[in-house]
């Protein structure tokens, strides 16, 4: 069953201190009970006790106390945001689809392989394929992340190519995965898209240009935005657009040396001297080789109208950037094939078979219901007597 071993996790456990507030209604109750005033009253002869009424009242107060403590406890729980671990069943009728696969190709595949109940995009957090197509992700990383997820332990994985560029670090896989690929030939005709990144505020035309490229030919193109210079890493990004005038920082120089492509305009100057080679074309453009990578530098300020007021800007720029040996670089990188997966199998024991279900809605509902109940009990005081305390 789903509830096999419920184990509580808290998103903000500091709120559990609020449980100490349970003492407040308890204290009030105790203090009130003992605070019954004692008076000497010589005319007590004309008073008579009415026990049953008092007992009923005490019972009601106990109920109120219980309800109020429950309310407080629920409030603390709500704020602490509990997560209930539930076991996830590893089903074999799950299909994880590489987002690069076109819709038509997928339909054909599904006709050949019916019987997949759950069809998801292959992503760090898989979404159903009825949802919008997500941008292409790093297969290497994504697969490593999913290898330990219990729900996808026995999934079928459909890739576009049997051979894919390998990443840095180790690949983890589930030994129960079943691999499919649309093309067994490898990645020769389809060069993988470079991982494009932007450091700092980019030129204003960049977003529009990428959008045009996505609409036209490269739907998977994604732009990563880096916040700090230190985030630039040739392992994580292929191309880096840098738009801050001044001397090139050392970290970026290291990025180029490690094999990245740096794209700037004339306002960025190198540390020391670099031998730039003028490239042919109608646009003044120069390139310099630095370590394993290169630096592409535009001869004009790319903020000027003359630079970007052109209809063919996206295609021109893409061609210029792509021409910097990207195809060769991509091909020369390591590849892995689904036939001989280099991954390290994740043992069954290491799989966390559970996913966490938030309980907020149920708790909130219970809180509102209890609050209503408490109000009803508190306000439905007996009509007689009149002088009750609250």
Partner 1 sequence: MQLTDPLTLASTRDLAWLSRHIAEGMLLGMQHSQRRGAGVEFQQYRSYEPGDSIRHIDWKLFARSDRYYVREAEQESRMHVCIALDTSASMAQPSFTHPQLSKLHYAKCWIATLCWLLHRQGERFSLLALNDGEMRHIPSGQGEGHHRRIALALAQLRAAGHWPGEAQLASAWKLFEQPCQVVLVSDFFERGQEISTFAARLQAAGRPCLPLQLLVEAEETFPFSSELKIRDPESPAITELDAGAQRADYLRAFGAAQKQLAARFAARECPLTSVAIERPLEQSLRRFVDAHSRIG
Nearest distance from residue 52's CB to partner 1, in Å? 11
**Complex with partner 1: residue 39 or 340, whichever CB lies closer:** 39
CA–CA–CA angle 227, 228, 233 (5° rounding): 105
Instruction: Select the span of 167-175, 226-234, 298-306, 381-389 touching partner 1 (CB under 8 A).
Output: 381-389
Q: Which H or E run includes 365?
A: helix 360-379
Decide whether 38 or 189 has the Cβ nearer to partner 1: 38
In contact, 239 and 261? CB cutoff 8 Å:
yes
Binding to partner 1, residues 8-67 (CB under 8 A): 36-50, 53-54, 57
Tell me how far, at minimum, the Cβ of 63 lies from partner 1, in Å: 17
**Please, what is the minimum distance in Å from the beta carbon of residue 72 to partner 1?**
25
How far lies 96's CA from each of 99, 114, 160, in Å?
9, 14, 11
* Rounded CA separation 373/390 (Å): 15
Closest Cα partner for 29 from 75, 60, 56? 60
Residues 193-232 that bind partner 1 (CB under 8 A): none
Asked if residue 380 binds partner 1 (CB under 8 A), the reply is no
Minimum CB–partner distance for residue 58 and partner 1 (Å): 10
Q: Examine residue 387 and tell whether it contacts partner 1 (CB under 8 A).
A: yes
Is 388 a binding residue for partner 1 by CB under 8 A? The answer is: yes
DSSP type of residue 193? P
DSSP reduced 3-state for 297: strand
Least distance in Å: CB of 66 to partner 1?
20
Least distance (Å) from partner 1 to the CB of residue 47?
5
Nearer to partner 1, 379 or 383 (CB): 383
Nearest residue (CB) to partner 1, 9 versus 58: 58
Least distance from C-beta 57 to partner 1, angstroms?
A: 7
Q: Name the residue among 319, 320, 289, 284 with its Cα closest to residue 302.
A: 284
Min separation Cβ 374 and partner 1, Å: 21
Give how many residues touch partner 1 by CB under 8 A: 24
User: Is the CB of 59 or the CB of 277 nearer to partner 1?
Assistant: 59
Closest by CA to 103, choosing from 125, 136, 133, 123, is: 133
Residue in 366, 384, 383 with CA at minimum distance from that of residue 374: 366
Q: Which residue in the set 103, 275, 309, 389 belongs to the binding site for partner 1 (CB under 8 A)?
A: 389
State which residue, 52 or 246, has the beta carbon closest to partner 1: 52
Residue with Cβ nearer partner 1 (3 or 46): 46
Please say which residue, 103 or 389, places its beta carbon nearer to partner 1.
389
Q: What distance in Å separates the CA atoms of residue 253 and residue 267, rounded to the nearest whole number?
A: 16
Smallest gap from Cβ 375 to partner 1, in A, equals 22
Residue found under tokens 């990563």: 224
b/e per residue 234-270 (b: at least 16 CB within 10 A):
bebbbbbbbbeeeebbeebbbbbeebbbbbbbeebeb
Which residues have C-beta within 8 Å of that of residue 365, sequence separation ≥ 6? none
Angle at 108 between CA 107 and CA 112, to 5 degrees: 115
Measured from the CB atom, the residue of 57 and 331 that comes closer to partner 1 is: 57
272 in contact with partner 1 (CB under 8 A): no
Please list the residues that pair with 330 across neighbouring strands. none
Q: Which residues bind partner 1 (CB under 8 A)?
A: 36-50, 53-54, 57, 384-389
């Amino acid at each position: 069953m789903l509830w096999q071993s419920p184990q509580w996790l808290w998103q903000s456990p500091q709120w559990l201190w609020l449980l100490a507030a349970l003492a407040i209604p308890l204290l009030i109750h105790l203090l009130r009970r003992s605070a019954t005033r004692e008076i000497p009253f010589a005319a007590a002869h004309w008073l008579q006790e009415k026990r049953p009424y008092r007992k009923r009242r005490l019972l009601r107060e106990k109920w109120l106390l219980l309800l109020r403590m429950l309310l407080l406890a629920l409030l603390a729980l709500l704020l602490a945001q509990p997560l209930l671990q539930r076991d996830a069943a590893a089903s074999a009728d799950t299909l994880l689809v590489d987002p690069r696969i076109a819709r038509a190709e997928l339909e054909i595949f599904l006709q050949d392989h019916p019987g997949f109940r759950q069809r998801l995009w292959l992503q760090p957090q898989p979404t159903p394929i009825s949802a919008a197509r997500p941008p292409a992700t790093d297969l290497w990383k994504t697969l490593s992340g999913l290898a330990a997820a219990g729900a996808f332990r026995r999934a079928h994985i459909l890739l576009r190519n049997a051979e894919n560029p390998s990443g840095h670090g180790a690949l983890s896989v589930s030994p129960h995965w079943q691999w499919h690929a649309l093309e067994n030939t490898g990645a020769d005709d389809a060069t993988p898209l470079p991982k494009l990144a932007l450091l700092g505020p980019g030129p204003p035309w960049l977003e529009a240009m990428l959008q045009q490229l996505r609409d036209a030919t490269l739907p998977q193109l994604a732009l990563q935005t880096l916040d700090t210079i230190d985030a630039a890493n040739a392992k994580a990004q292929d191309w880096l657009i840098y738009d801050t005038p001044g001397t090139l920082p050392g970290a970026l120089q290291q990025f180029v040396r490690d094999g990245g492509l740096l794209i700037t305009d004339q306002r960025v100057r190198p540390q020391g001297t670099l031998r730039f080679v003028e490239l042919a074309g109608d646009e003044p453009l120069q390139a310099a080789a630095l370590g394993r990578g290169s630096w592409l530098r535009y001869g004009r300020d790319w903020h000027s109208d003359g630079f970007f007021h052109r209809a063919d800007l996206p295609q021109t720029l893409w061609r210029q950037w792509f021409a910097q040996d990207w195809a060769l670089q991509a091909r020369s990188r390591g590849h892995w094939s689904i036939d001989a997966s280099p991954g390290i199998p994740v043992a069954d024991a290491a799989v966390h078979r559970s996913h966490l279900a938030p309980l907020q809605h149920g708790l909130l509902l219970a809180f509102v219901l209890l609050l209503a109940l408490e109000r009803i009990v508190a306000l439905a005081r007996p009509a007689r007597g009149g002088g009750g305390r609250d």
